[in-house]
Chain A
């Protein structure tokens, strides 16, 4: 065996051993710091975990880009929604006075708020871009109650790691981690571009998560559940998206 191939063998051996050890340590560290997404199983798990972990390390406190009022899209696109059902029509017919937002799960004071109460809470406005995973975008000013305010109001417990949110559309439910749930730009929006949030854009209440794609900004929000684990929700993949083949984390 020549000098060079022996040296090669040794360096390759060291590199492989270091790589394997590095991966094992990285996996443990990632799990401890909540960097493993709920849909990390399966053949796309490695890529999904790398994306979520890398973005969470970079974006813990980063702010979605905000735009000036003259950049607001004159032609926003509402996207289509599945038929909203009789219950929605009844509530809409009554001007949504009976719309409720229930907050339950790991809260000291689980509460059901009326729409009027939600509208009376302090608001925050952000002119941000919403983008669909299909590739299209528009810019709008979203006004609503910061989700962090709601969590504070119901006494969110320290163990809470995710907020699960549901739409009046039974098949629509999503969840976000605390980095997004407590983020100052994450709001339960009830106004858009200075007017009441139109039904086609998610009115009366839409959870707006501007650092992720539009499918995480679920329309017609009726219920928030605070939890330390996503395992018991649906198939345990985090939300309806992975059950339909889409990634749970949509920051990319």
Chain B
């Protein structure tokens, strides 16, 4: 089997159709998908670590424009704080780590945005989204969606065809992350920047204010963490080694292995 077979042949089949037998070591993921996948992983983990750390300096969330310890939060995390100005009920104050956390957060954000842009532009021009992520019309019926949801809830090990194509729930969740959650993170993140807001005041006005942007940034983080957890669990269910091999080397193993 020639390794230079156009990858679209291997991955473009809609999941609704049956999958023909494929040869050992055939290409599963394009190099650009693999590289951007792992760069995004790296950036996301750095953003999560540094962002989580920053929250400890003010573990309270507000709606609207303003919020501080003199005001009523809609969410108080009841964790220790790295500032003694925040009454937490704990008898100690965590060390201040915001300096490097902020540096790392913005550097990782640049990596995430650059990687995301590259991936999205490539995906649009090469048809990746249309071929591999937009669900086949036949998959979007309530019957098929229901069947897919039941299969997922039973943690059913996917059939051999899924080594070569995404199932409908997978497609929908990837599209949601790529085209809704990540853009929302970027928007709400930028809306917290005083410099950015001076140039684009609508970015924060449309969201409903600086503190609302901060709250939404936190809530969408929770959705992304949930996605990550489900993503990893599904990979374990489907076969951790085979899926990791496909995303690292680009080659899928034969379904019978």
Contacts and interface: CB of A to CB of B under 8 A. Distances in A.
Given A55-B196, A245-B99, A76 B65 contact: no
B128 interface: no
B194 A212 contact: yes
Contacts of B55: 135
B29 interface: no
Contacts of B110: 46-47, 50-51
Interface in B215-244: none
* Most-contacted residue by chain B among A2, A55, A59, A137 (CB, 10 A): A137
B107 A59 contact: no
A5 interface: yes
Given A80-B84, A136-B69, A65 B201 contact: yes
Interface in B97-129: 98-100, 102-104, 106-110
Interface in A126-185: 129, 131-139
A73 to B, nearest CB: 5
Contact of A246 (B68, B83, B99, B106): B99
Contact of A139 (B65, B83, B85, B214): B65
A62 interface: yes
A218 B234 CA distance: 51
Contacts of B201: 65
B142 to A, nearest CB: 41
Contact of A213 (B4, B194, B198, B205): B194
A211 interface: yes
A58 B108 CA distance: 21
B153 interface: no
A77 B103 contact: no
B190 to A, nearest CB: 8
Nearest to B214: A135
Interface string A17-35: 0000000000000000000
A252 interface: yes
B68 to A, nearest CB: 4
A211 B195 contact: yes
Contacts of A247: 99, 102-103, 106
Contacts of A134: 54, 57-58, 83, 98
Interface string A198-234: 0000000000001111000000000000000000000
Given A131-B210, A134-B58, A245-B99, A251 B193 contact: yes
Interface residues of B, number: 44
Contact of B197 (A2, A51, A65): A65
A44 B195 contact: no
B194 A135 contact: no
B198 A59 contact: yes
Contacts, number: 128
A47 B196 CA distance: 16
B67 interface: yes
A174 to B, nearest CB: 15
Contact of A62 (B57, B106, B199, B204): B199
Contacts of B199: 55, 58-59, 62
A46 to B, nearest CB: 7
A71 interface: yes
B68 A251 contact: no
A246 B57 contact: no
A129 B197 CA distance: 11
A133 B198 contact: no
Nearest to A209: B194
A79 interface: yes
A47 B70 CA distance: 34
A129 B83 contact: no
A252 B189 CA distance: 9
A210 B195 CA distance: 9
A77 B106 contact: no
B17 interface: no
Contact of A137 (B67, B100, B109, B195): B67
Nearest to A252: B193
The 7 A-B residue pairs with the shortest CB-CB distance in the complex, in nearest-first order: A47-B107, A251-B195, A245-B99, A75-B70, A44-B103, A77-B68, A136-B68
15 contacts: A44-B104, A44-B107, A47-B106, A64-B197, A77-B68, A129-B65, A131-B194, A133-B102, A134-B54, A135-B54, A136-B58, A137-B210, A138-B68, A251-B193, A252-B194
Interface of A: 2, 4-5, 44, 46-48, 50-51, 55, 58-59, 62-65, 67, 71, 73, 75-77, 79-80, 129, 131-139, 210-213, 244-247, 251-252
